[in-house]
Structure 1
Amino acid sequence: MRRMGKTLRTLLTGACGAALALAGPAAVPARAATPAPGTAWELKNTGTDARFRGLAAVSRATAWAAGTKGTVLLTRDGGTTWRDVSPPGARGLEFRDVEAFDARDAVVLAIGEGEASRILQDGGTTWTETFRNTDPKAFYDCVTFFDRRHGIALGDPVDGRFRLLETHDGGRAWRPLPTAGLPAALSGEAAFAASGQCVVSSGPRDAWIATGGAAVSRVLHSTDRGRTWTATEAPLPAGDPARGVFGLAFRDRAHGLAVGGDYRAGQPSPRAAAATGDGGRAWRTAALPPAAYRSGVAWFPHSRTTALAVGPTGSELTTDGGRTWRTFDTGSYDTVDCAPAAAPGAGCWAAGEKGRIARLVAP
């Protein structure tokens, strides 16, 4: 099982990143290429070629991005300028997730086997390493927060169970969560560290885990901050280490979206998105799905029906809660995030390869 999980991780790192090239025509439904009028990404000049799979939208003006070569960037002026706030000595780390509370406080997660998996807290002025994995079999993927104090981090299965950490002080300290409440992992099952969305939360206690690499794709749901979990099959592509659910987004504890597919170039992903209205107990496949594999998804602020999905071959918009998706951009992005509805001037951002970060321009 660990060998399968390692294969799944390897496919998203190193030279195999080239597999995220443009998918073939077979992956694109005929109607999905119809543009969404007035919606567009506005690329920003970041001055780096790092690949960003970690993204945290604080507002329309403020966003954080975390990626390769230990790079962490921060903007406070809508992307006009970017401040390099990378942790000192972190160039060898591979950041895949960042969770930010404001323009000063953030938590970043680095992936990798053994001690390569780390969590650092604060940012902007100083960074403190608050967790370093010492188990050579463990590999951490994503982190999420329920509020400014409480959060969990997800690791791939070890001895048949996913690994979980919890914090009660905003990421300053982490401790393992019991695994007895987790369902047994399937053969080959793991999480994709592709967009910082393999574990997500909504409200004070609900969290969800996205999985792939096994015979079926699954979404796990907890209502008690990770103590106990239930598992549901998701109708996204499965049966291969390159297939599964790559990203999740919940606008409340009931309504969620799942995206994924098969990220290998030229491989079709005919069911790249699904939606739930009951917290993940049941999922329905999109009637008109995204054009191909998608790795990130986010709900619009102040909307109950509008959301974005992104991947290496383009971006889609849904205005009906995930039933249908329309392509509005063909650029490459790995992750997407929208600021909380309560944030002043809430906005949406996307990030990906070669230093690409963009802010959404919407009608």
Structure 2
Amino acid sequence: MTEPNLPSGNDTDTNSSAIPGTAAAWERATLERLAMATLIEQRQARRWRNGIRIAWLVFVAAVAWFGWERGAAPADVSKPHTAVIEIKGEIAAGGDASAEQVVSSMRSAFEDSGTQAVVLLINSPGGSPVQAGIINDEIHRLKAKYHKPVYAVVEEMCASAAYYIASGADKIFVDKASIVGSIGVLMDGFGFTGLMDKLGVERRLMTAGENKGFLDPFSPQTEKQRAYAQTMLDQIHQQFIGVVKAGRGNRLKETPETFSGLFWTGQQAVEMGLVDQLGNLDYVAREVVKAEELVDYTRRDNVAERLVKRFGASIGEGSVHALKLAPSLR
């Protein structure tokens, strides 16, 4: 009698162990991949931390190397000289032509015994009326205290807030092609309410105070709000006009266009009494002050300070983004 052909014990053991063995290999491979990914991530994090530490070391070394001095004037300032202070670019808080920088420079120049006169070398399109007002007030205070003349020398441009500053000088010198004037005040912006309606976009602005968001470009502006803004601008304009009239006195040949916001060439400005005469820095030092040696008192941030400001700005950027979600008193 023939026996049935049954699988042997060895065959049964081999088939039963095939699947578990494959699963074990897959698990090992997966664990190896996870371990490798973790190792790579740890290495990248370690490199990042090392990079940050190196950046800090370079930063600290740069600050220590360049120091914090602003040495613009020479050591011996007791000899007769003409002090020069540059006012270039936008007149704004935190900038090179801010009231803080210019006033500090003027005080240093006036205090030195060898300073025969202070020359403001101007090349600016204007800026903040507040910053310009602070500088103008300080010009009058320092002149009265030290009894030293102040002259303004215009290069390419002396407009708006820059002319606000220049009007405090005893005399203003320009090139015949300089741009002078723009005695006015502006507040600019955009209105997108019509475009928003066409696109079907709804502006959701939440405020406490009915006029808090009246300068928001995505919200409509009422006539009452427009009139309020215009009144404010007119008031600042009158302050500007008063400063110019006080500074120029009888030299100013006022016309209906003088305070309209227009600007003129240096040659035209001489004829209008906005400035006194043509002349550059060397001419003023040689012929007017009678002290040809020029000493630059302009206060400038050195390399270390610029690094500090840029580094601080990069650190604060994340905080600014976080604060954007919070209510603002701006």
TM-score bracket for this pair, using the shorter chain length? under 0.3
Which structure has more strand as a fraction of its residues? 1
- Which structure is larger by alpha-carbon Rg, 1 or 2? 2
- What is the TM-score normalised by the length of structure 1? 0.21
TM-score normalized by structure 2?
Answer: 0.23
